[in-house]
Structure 1
Amino acid sequence: MEDLKAALREHADLVADLVERVSAELRSGFGPAVDGFVGFFHAIDWKEPWLICLLLFHITLLVIAIMSRKKINFQLCLSILAFAGVYLAERINTLLAKNWKKFSGQNYFDPNGLFISVLWSGPLLFLSIIIVVNTLISLCKLIVKWKKAELRHRARLSRGKQD
Structure 2
Amino acid sequence: MEELRSAAEAHMDQVADLVQKLSAELRTGLRPAFDNFIGFFHAIDWKEPWLMGLMAFHFVLLVVAISSRKNLNFQMYLFLLALAGVYFAENLNRVLGSNWKRFATQNYFDSHGIFLSALWSGPLLFIAIIILVSQQMSSCSPFSFSFFSTLLSG
- On whether the aligned pair clears a TM of 0.5, the verdict is yes
TM-score, structure 1 normalization: 0.83
- 1:105 has 2:105 as partner: yes
- 1:45 has 2:36 as partner: no
The runs of 5 or more residues in structure 2 that have no matched partner are: none
In the other structure, the counterpart of 1:129 is 129
The runs of 5 or more residues in structure 1 that have no matched partner are: 154-163
User: How much does 1:5 deviate?
Assistant: 4.3
User: How much does 1:25 deviate?
Assistant: 1.8
CA separation of 1:106 and 1:143: change in aligned 2, threshold 3 A? same
Residue aligned with 1:45, SS: coil
CA separation of 1:103 and 1:147: change in aligned 2, threshold 3 A? closer
TM-score, structure 2 normalization: 0.87
In the other structure, the counterpart of 2:88 is 88
Fraction of identical pairs, as percent: 56
- Deviation per CA, 1:29-76: give whole Å up to 9, x if none: 111111111111100000101000100010010000011000111111
CA separation of 1:145 and 1:105: change in aligned 2, threshold 3 A? same
Q: Which amino acid is 1:119 matched to?
A: L
Q: How many residues align?
A: 151
CA distance in 2, matches of 1:40, 1:70: 38
Larger radius of gyration: 1
User: How much does 1:78 deviate?
Assistant: 0.8
Residue aligned with 2:44, SS: coil
CA distance in 1, matches of 2:78, 2:28: 40
CA distance in 2, matches of 1:45, 1:93: 18
Q: Which amino acid is 1:30 matched to?
A: L
Residue aligned with 2:32, SS: helix
User: How much does 1:129 deviate?
Assistant: 0.8
User: How much does 1:95 deviate?
Assistant: 1.0
CA distance in 1, matches of 2:117, 2:59: 17
